[in-house]
Amino acid sequence: MFAGPIFTREAVVAPRRPRLFAMRVVYGTALLILISTAWMIIAGTQVVRNLSDMARFGEILFQILVPLQMALLMFLSAIQAASNVSVEKDRQTLVLLLMTRMTNSELVLGKLFSALLSVGSLLLTSAPILMLIVLFGGTSFHQVGWSLVVTLTTCLLAGSLGTMIGFWREKTFQSLALVLLVIAMWLGFWEGIGRLNFGLAGLTAARWSQIMSPISAILSASRPSVVECWQDDVLPYMIASLTLSAVIVAIAILRVRIWNPNREARPRQQEAEFSDVNIYGEVQEVVAHRASPQAAALVGPRKSRPVWSNPILWREMMTWAYGKKIVFIRVAYWLAAFAVAAALYWAVSSGAATRATRATTMSVSVVAQPLAPLMLVSLVILTALAVTSITTERDGKAIDLLMVTDLTPREFLFGKLLGVLYLGTDLILLPLLMCGYLWWNGALSTENLLFVVLGMLVLNVFVATLGIHCGMSYASTRTAISVSLGTVFFLFLGVVTCMVMLVSFTGNVEAQLAPFLACIVGGAVGLYVALGWQSPSPALAVASMILPFAMFYSITSLLLGHYASVIIVVAFTYGFATTAMLVPRLSEFRVSTGRSKSGEGE
């Protein structure tokens, strides 16, 4: 095929995996459930008198589902593409691919289109379901077609970015975090540009935002006016995204054999650096000394740094366990935080932040609009850090060494958890410092500041534990990453989407509650399958059932201004879920290695 042997193998093998069909069934079922839930809401709360009411329903439903699908598949494409390359590096098989007769283009394009294969199947699955919405009226097949094309070009751009960063960065966490930050900064930058008033190259700021922002493009494609204005609303974005994709892929093709193998894989420089092998040699020495002085003598004298009583925590905090170039991640996050801080400064200096605190309507305040996405990005990156802290060890065969030492499961688990929280100090503190700035300027009360601090600390511990739990439960690195990040997106974005549907189709709340709860229950069952399938327990079943309801109640209470009830529910439910994931792993090593299933670790 045109993309080379890597894509050819994936295209031949993927249809033989039950996972591909399971993903398509689950995704299609989820879309149908959302459509059915929306119809039950409007049928139970309003009288559908004529075709105009049906058309209005179809228009609103389409404009809710299409942006949601684009956001989901965009992040999935980027994460799949980045992890598809990073897993090869962690297993040290990328060097073998570089030694073959494959050209750079076959290697890069093969990895890119292999990652987009599953995303493309999900997009094709959604096509007939979105066409069913046309039967309600208010939408047309042109809107469906242009929305799918915009989503496809966005996924291609995100996948190209993930593939390039995957070949560029040396660690899985570096790739995932940098991809998420770049996408978040790209979206926030162009949405912010659209609100300014200036001109460049004969185009206004709003026009530049429409050309470069995926959000503006998908909103334009979902409107009925796209039938007449597709040349101005959609086509420029498609050209810009395809051009950027070609440039990014070209950079990756030209630099792939320069970036790889990285410095840590080169023998001469590996001897000069303090590699993970040396680190685990010191860990082995500490473990042997704890066992007996005679065992320590057998290890032999070696020049090493002093190691703490918990060598796992020492390695996480005192070494470059995730690569020295993790500094790039910190710089990128600080840039994103600086942009959010500038937006908060403008809101405070203009008085908009103070006026927002006096508002009584159910609306998102001016200060929450930039700060909430930053908090969500922080939680997602912390989850990626936690899950890769386990998957990297397993792919590097270090888990086997640790499991045969006298390290206790408690030392391993808390060493990883505290190490992740330590490395994510910037992710945890910067949003809280911004909340402190709002409190200092009177835009946030003391009581609400304490609520925000406590709530964010609970959520940070939860997502860190979630990442470690998924990393230990799934033998496949890509599956562990997808499940952990997908859980975070579902709990925050999924519930918010359901609430948007609840608000869009106004009517009697009591009549809306039954279909909405049915959708939440379905999500809770899926959450339990994701978290408890490999390690089932009654506590995880209870936690999976109450988490979606807790998020629904918390977001509703937050919009209504009942902040005390929000923090009580969040602290209890997420604290219980964290405990349910931690306790079973404190007594024994329960790390899935996947040796019993050949090929499962792909």
Clarify whether residues 175 and 229 are in a common domain. Answer: yes
Clarify whether residues 243 and 286 are in a common domain. Answer: no
Q: Is residue 2 part of a domain?
A: no
Give the pLDDT confidence score for residue 295 in this predicted structure. 47
Confirm if 323 and 178 have CB atoms less than 8 A apart: no
Q: Is the pLDDT of residue 318 over 50?
A: yes
Mean pLDDT value across residues 13-37: 82
Q: Is residue 566 part of a domain?
A: yes
Give the pLDDT confidence score for residue 163 in this predicted structure. 94
Tokens matching residue 593:
């290695």
**Tens-place pLDDT, residues 194-221:** 777 777 777 888 888 888 999 888 988 8
Which of 262, 289, 320 delimits the end of a domain? Answer: 262
- More reliable by pLDDT, 510 or 67: 67
pTM: 0.82
Give the pLDDT confidence score for residue 597 in this predicted structure. 40
Clarify whether residues 166 and 40 are in a common domain. Answer: yes
Angle at alpha carbon of residue 194, lines to 191 and 198, rounded to 5°: 145
Clarify whether residues 277 and 195 are in a common domain. Answer: no
Q: Is residue 590 part of a domain?
A: no
pLDDT-derived band of residue 502, with 50, 70 and 90 as boundaries? low
Give the pLDDT confidence score for residue 515 in this predicted structure. 55
Tokens 């540009």, residue located: 193
Give the pLDDT confidence score for residue 256 in this predicted structure. 92
pLDDT-derived band of residue 304, with 50, 70 and 90 as boundaries? low
Length of the chain: 602
Q: Output the CA torsion 500→501→506→510 (10° steps).
A: -100
Q: Is residue 139 part of a domain?
A: yes
Clarify whether residues 434 and 529 are in a common domain. Answer: yes
**Tens-place pLDDT, residues 145-174:** 999 999 999 999 999 999 999 999 888 888
- Residue 396: which domain range? 311-585
The overall longest dimension of the chain from CA atoms, in Å, is 87
Clarify whether residues 324 and 186 are in a common domain. Answer: no
Q: Is residue 594 part of a domain?
A: no
Q: Is residue 493 part of a domain?
A: yes
Clarify whether residues 289 and 229 are in a common domain. Answer: no
Tokens matching residue 202:
């004969």
Confirm if 218 and 191 have CB atoms less than 8 A apart: no
Clarify whether residues 284 and 350 are in a common domain. Answer: no
Clarify whether residues 392 and 434 are in a common domain. Answer: yes
Mean pLDDT value across residues 556-576: 82
Give the pLDDT confidence score for residue 77 in this predicted structure. 93
pLDDT-derived band of residue 82, with 50, 70 and 90 as boundaries? very high
Q: Is the pLDDT of residue 275 over 50?
A: no
**Tens-place pLDDT, residues 324-344:** 778 888 888 999 899 889 888
Mean pLDDT value across residues 47-61: 76
Give the pLDDT confidence score for residue 590 in this predicted structure. 72
Average pLDDT, the chain: 80
Mean pLDDT value across residues 351-358: 62
Give the pLDDT confidence score for residue 230 in this predicted structure. 82
Task: Tally the domains of the chain.
Answer: 3
Confirm if 391 and 480 have CB atoms less than 8 A apart: yes
Residue 310 has phi, psi (to 5 degrees) of: -105, 95
Q: If DSSP states are collapsed to H, E and C, what string results for 510-562?
A: HHHHHHHHHHHHHHHHHHHHHHHCCCCCHHHHHHHHHHHHHHHHHHHHHHHCC
Give the pLDDT confidence score for residue 188 in this predicted structure. 85
Clarify whether residues 127 and 162 are in a common domain. Answer: yes
Q: Is residue 593 part of a domain?
A: no
Clarify whether residues 222 and 286 are in a common domain. Answer: no
Q: Is the pLDDT of residue 294 over 60?
A: no
Clarify whether residues 277 and 149 are in a common domain. Answer: no
Q: Is the pLDDT of residue 285 over 60?
A: no
Give the pLDDT confidence score for residue 358 in this predicted structure. 46
Tokens matching residue 542:
């209870």
Q: Is residue 1 part of a domain?
A: no
